[in-house]
């Protein structure tokens, strides 16, 4: 009986030590995860929120400049006076840039609200791997759409300034300076928004790499 009681006591001690070891492992893993988030993960989340805010603001400026690009002026060709009326909605390329920039504003606003809310709650901005993939794909699609729209609008702007080769068309931007300046600055902001989306994609990849470990 004494031997059985001793074995039972030893088993109880082993079980208690095992429970303590498991608690230590869980506590260490939790502490490591929190330290890892409050380190590099927290900085990445703050950078992500800042990029979303900047992208929304830059895209909004691009849209505002484009939709206010309209002007009426007079120009002369071979001694004849012509009235020029320029408005952004007369070009499919400029309409495409406005649509893409508007979509980027809405997307960035949505991401800013959700990311900012999670950041204030001190939780990860991108909590799951699925959401990280969604953000990565969306950033890539909108980024390529912005750079394609900016390139198309840039072609329209250059044609207005240089005319069409081998054709006696004047430099319309001499008479439509306000219109051409708005187009040019809008394209610059659109391309800057593309760079911000590209930077967001890099942070999305970093988030995916953290989730895989």
Q: Is residue 69 part of a domain?
A: yes
pLDDT at 14: 44
Distance CA 161, CA 197 (A): 29
Would 145 be classed as within a structural domain? yes
Has residue 62 been placed in a domain? yes
* Dihedral of alpha carbons 51, 53, 58, 59, sign: positive
Query: Tens of pLDDT along 106-163?
Result: 999 999 999 999 989 888 888 888 999 999 999 999 999 999 999 888 877 776 665 5
- Confidence label for 51 from pLDDT (cuts 50, 70 and 90): very high
3-state SS of 108-119 is HHHHHHHHHHHH
Range of the domain at 73: 57-211
3 state DSSP class of 149: helix
Instruction: Specify the pLDDT at position 127.
Output: 85
- Residue 27 included in any domain: no
* pTM: predicted TM-score of the whole model, two decimal places: 0.72
Is there a domain that residue 120 lies in?
A: yes
For residue 166, tell me if it sits in a domain.
Answer: yes
Of residues 28 and 184, which shows the higher confidence score?
184
Domain membership of residue 25 (yes or no) is: no
Residue 48 lies in a domain: no
Torsions phi, psi for 83 (to 5 deg): -95, 130
Mean pLDDT, all residues of the chain: 77
Please identify which residue in the block is written with the tokens 């950033």: 139
Domain tally, the chain: 1
- Specify the pLDDT at position 17: 47
User: Which pLDDT tens digit goes with each residue over 68-111?
Assistant: 988 766 665 566 666 666 788 888 889 999 999 999 999 999 99
Of 60 and 182, the one with more pLDDT:
60
> What is the distance between the alpha carbons of residues 37 and 59, in angstroms, rounded to a whole number?
30
Residue 40's pLDDT is what? 56
C-alpha 149: how far from its chain's center? 16
């Amino acid at each position: 009986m004494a031997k059985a009681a001793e074995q039972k006591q030893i088993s109880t001690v082993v079980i208690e030590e095992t429970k303590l070891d498991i608690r230590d492992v869980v506590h260490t893993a939790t502490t490591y995860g929190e330290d890892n988030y409050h380190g590099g993960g927290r900085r990445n989340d703050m950078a992500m929120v800042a990029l979303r805010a900047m992208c929304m603001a830059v895209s909004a400026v691009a849209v505002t400049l484009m939709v206010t690009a309209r002007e009426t002026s007079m120009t002369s060709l071979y001694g004849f006076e012509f009235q020029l009326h320029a408005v952004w909605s007369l070009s499919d390329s400029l309409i495409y840039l406005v649509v893409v920039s508007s979509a980027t504003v809405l997307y960035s606003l949505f991401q800013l609200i959700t990311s900012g809310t999670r950041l204030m709650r001190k939780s990860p901005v991108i909590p799951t791997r699925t959401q990280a993939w969604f953000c990565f794909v969306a950033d890539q699609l909108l980024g390529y759409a912005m750079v394609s729209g900016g390139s198309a609008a840039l072609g329209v702007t250059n044609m207005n300034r240089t005319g069409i080769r081998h054709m006696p068309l004047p430099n319309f931007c001499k008479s439509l300076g306000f219109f051409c300046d708005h187009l040019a600055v809008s394209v610059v902001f659109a391309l800057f928004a593309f760079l911000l989306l590209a930077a967001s994609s890099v942070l999305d990849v970093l988030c995916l790499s953290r989730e895989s470990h």
